[in-house]
Chain A
């Protein structure tokens, strides 16, 4: 009984851990988009924002995907066989 309680706690914390990471990296992606919008709205060299985000966004997206892939592969699908 106690074992499954701890297991439940561990699982919840792991999901929480993943959510924190998603919020962090997702937040950065949203921030970059906000800066593109601000530059376009102010007419302040939007090309710089678009250029940088073309490089930066894919990196963050790949990073997010890798971490989610590991989380899925280890904690969700491949759990303790």
Chain B
């Protein structure tokens, strides 16, 4: 059952079949940043972690911040893809593939940050040989492995029909790759049933895994006894923050590729409007958690906690703290309150602001608690060096490169799901709405 699709669909195949100058320029620019990151890491590997700005007591800095940040971004895929699929929201159809790709790519980058942070990276296999499950880092290792495999599967399964379309394209390239990955898909009833069942199960499975991933990342901090880390709110706080930053990341990726590949026909203002509304809700949610956390600390006024609190409010870290509030609450509220006009611009501004703000939030969680130890040590400051900045820039660039390379091999918008939306979706929605309206129910008098 091969469909020809309409003429607009050709634009979805173009990135796979043609490579323009824009692609090469993008790869060149990204490679420069990746090179900076590689040089930074080689320097660190050779000389030791001393080339960073880390010290005693601030022994965790940029790398751990990046780790939490990137793992947070990975929640884009789960929320949009799984939850919207399960709730049968039809507007998800052009978005799910992009969201799932973000998740898969960024998880590798995020997990890599911890490996970069190790003082003895050649011993990383010690975690496999002598891992201790009492340590939150092992919970991290397990749940991130689970999330990696589950989200990879959850990306791959809905891609199978699209890979089959690519395989069957007349005059297409990479036939062998697509034939292997398509697993003999021909679109029969039975195959559709198998696939839909599997996708449904994965959709349900991936959500608790995603929640566990960021909760477990938060437990790395909350299971210690440090002031303003040892807080019960961290689990839900981090998950909310992750979904928040994930949606922002997804919006930025969508807008970038919409422009680069000319996808305006598929990614319409209504999609950005809905995502913008979700972003606004998450901003308020995030603010609620932040407010609870800080009010509790302030009201209890425990001296060691207050040292950290004031260092954030009007001390060394005030710039970052208030910058975070500005970027995560004020700017999104201003941009997203009315989305009827200039939707895309407003949503883009809000998303970039949130990405910056959420990175600042991770930084504000990691560094101030370490900077103000309980015992009377002399005060120290933490300043990142070029190594940490290079590693951060390189990580962002590597993620972008992975993403761009993916779009060269597979369609970034799920072609079969759009077709399904046209053929089956409208009817299904109509039937569903009719079932909500008052009327006789079959089998009852």
A interface residues (Cβ-Cβ under 8 A, vs B): 6, 9-10, 13-14, 17, 24-25, 28, 31-32, 35-36, 38-39, 44-45, 48-49, 51-53, 55-56, 59-60, 62-63, 66-67, 69-71, 73-75, 78-81
Contacts and interface: CB of A to CB of B under 8 A. Distances in A.
23 contacts: A6-B179, A10-B176, A24-B149, A25-B149, A28-B146, A38-B131, A44-B132, A45-B134, A49-B133, A56-B146, A63-B149, A63-B153, A66-B201, A66-B205, A67-B198, A70-B157, A70-B183, A73-B195, A74-B194, A75-B183, A79-B184, A80-B184, A81-B186
B184 A74 contact: yes
Interface in B31-73: none
A36 B149 CA distance: 21
B180 A13 contact: yes
B128 interface: yes
Contacts of B212: 55
A48 B209 CA distance: 19
A73 B133 CA distance: 37
A79 B197 CA distance: 18
Nearest to B204: A62
Given A78-B190, A80-B184, A59 B132 contact: no
B188 A81 contact: yes
Which interface class (under 10, 10 to 19, 20 to 34, 35 or more) fits B? Answer: 35 or more
B418 interface: no
Given A52-B139, A52-B142, A66-B153, A74 B133 contact: no
Interface string B113-146: 0000000000000001011111000110011011
B232 interface: no
A35 B183 contact: no
Contact of B205 (A25, A62, A69): A62
A25 B205 CA distance: 15
B318 interface: no
Contacts of B150: 59, 63
A73 B149 contact: no
B202 interface: yes
A44 B153 contact: no
Nearest to A13: B180
Contacts of B180: 10, 13-14, 17
Given A74-B160, A74-B194, 9 more contacts: A6-B176, A13-B176, A28-B149, A44-B134, A59-B209, A62-B205, A73-B190, A74-B184, A75-B183
Contacts of B184: 14, 74-75, 78-80
A74 B201 CA distance: 16
A6 B180 CA distance: 10
A53 to B, nearest CB: 8
A74 B160 CA distance: 10
Nearest to B146: A59
A62 B150 CA distance: 10
